[in-house]
Amino acid sequence: MRQPGVVLCRRRRHRGWTPVLGGLTALVLSGCAGGHGGPAVATFTGPPTATSRQLAEDVHQLLRRLQVLGDRNAIVESTGNTIVVTGTTGLPVPAAALIAPGMLQFRPVLCAAGPYTASAKAANTVEGPLPLGCSSGRYSLEAPNLVISPSNASANGYSSNLGSIAADPTLADRRSTTAAANVADTGRSVLLPLAGGDGSRYLLGPAELNGGEITSATATYEAPVWVVDARFSTAGAVGWDELNQRYFHEMIGFDLDGRLLSVPVVQPNLSSFSSFAGRTKIAANFSRRAAEGFAAVLDSGPLVTPLRIAR
């Protein structure tokens, strides 16, 4: 393990792979070379309790993120509890995005909830742990209340009653789960708004798998949207198949650091479960920059200790 004050500069080649359902083949190369024209510098600090080993791991993760984003000449150094990043010609993503914790959790979607509006912020706002289920089966987004039927006659390849299932009204006066609480206790339910949505929220069950088993990720453009293709380790591939088979024709929430990126239905156009073969595709209305940043976070894995931008 590198010691503070030493520049981490490694050359690594990731094996190429073809994303599930076809598309482009990506080959990620990473390394470190001399020469920096017009460098940009960002300084981050870790908590006072962070160890040199934890900070060294974060140095490695940040370097890998930068390399996945295309800056193969980036330099990442640590001294004490400070980490300094020098990009070749500028940081490829905002500094805050570069140090995103990167905790991806896969959670079952239990039911929908309306936006937490000003009118709900009354004295009767309910506190305490969130329920592990909906207040009534008629609000459930799980089978048998949710019905998915593959259909060649539908443009999407399936039909469903999803649009007719109302949000659970008992969740209206429950505050959304904070990012800190989301990461601190993955064994509890969370209530999160869908990123980029209209404020509608979803009650998600405890996390059943996390992104730690993702070994590589890349952003690709599949007209008209950007998506992120990810590949799991051998153990992760088994876990991903088990999770999707368990919730076949139901919904799984992609929860990144307390942000609900997507709530897709599992293989709605198939009549029976089919293995993902260790790969998955994530679509969440990404811009190119957001897709590339998300792919870099998944490819590098979560930070070992949290960082903040130095003031």
Q: What is the pLDDT of residues 130-164, one digit of tens each?
A: 999 999 999 999 999 999 999 999 888 999 999 99
pLDDT exceeds cutoff 90 at 184: no
Please give the radius of gyration of the chain, using alpha carbons only, rounded to the nearest integer. 21
Residues 210, 129: Cα–Cα separation, whole Å: 22
Residues 150, 141: Cα–Cα separation, whole Å: 17
**Bigger pLDDT: 14 or 192?**
192
Query: What average pLDDT score do residues 83-100 get?
Result: 90
Mean of pLDDT over the chain: 84
Residues 113, 171: contact at Cβ < 8 Å?
Answer: yes
What is residue 214's three-state secondary structure?
strand
Both tokens assigned to 266: 């599992």
In DSSP terms, which residues pair with 85 in a beta bridge? 42, 76
At residue 183, the pLDDT reads 85
Residues 251, 108: contact at Cβ < 8 Å?
Answer: yes
pLDDT exceeds cutoff 70 at 290: yes
Both tokens assigned to 9: 């500069």
Question: Residue 284 is inside which H or E element, if any?
Answer: strand 279-286
Dihedral over Cα of 202, 205, 211, 217: its sign: negative
**Per-residue confidence at 34, pLDDT binned at 50, 70, 90?**
very low
Residue 107's closest CA among 182, 181, 26, 11?
182
Query: What average pLDDT score do residues 74-95 get?
Result: 91
Domains and CATH numbers, the chain: 12-101+301-309 (3.30.70)
**Angle between the 288-300 and 52-68 helix axes, to the nearest 10 degrees?**
140
Residue 58's closest CA among 310, 297, 294?
297
Residues 241, 277: Cα–Cα separation, whole Å: 8
Q: What angle do CA 289, 293, 296 make, to 5 degrees?
A: 140
162 Cβ neighbours under 8 A, 6+ residues apart: 141, 146, 265
**Per-residue confidence at 120, pLDDT binned at 50, 70, 90?**
very low
Both tokens assigned to 122: 């009354």
Residue 42's closest CA among 80, 8, 92, 109?
92
For 212-253, the pLDDT digits (tens) are 999 999 999 999 999 999 999 999 999 999 999 999 999 999
- The highest-confidence range among 27-31, 182-186, 188-192, by mean pLDDT, is 188-192
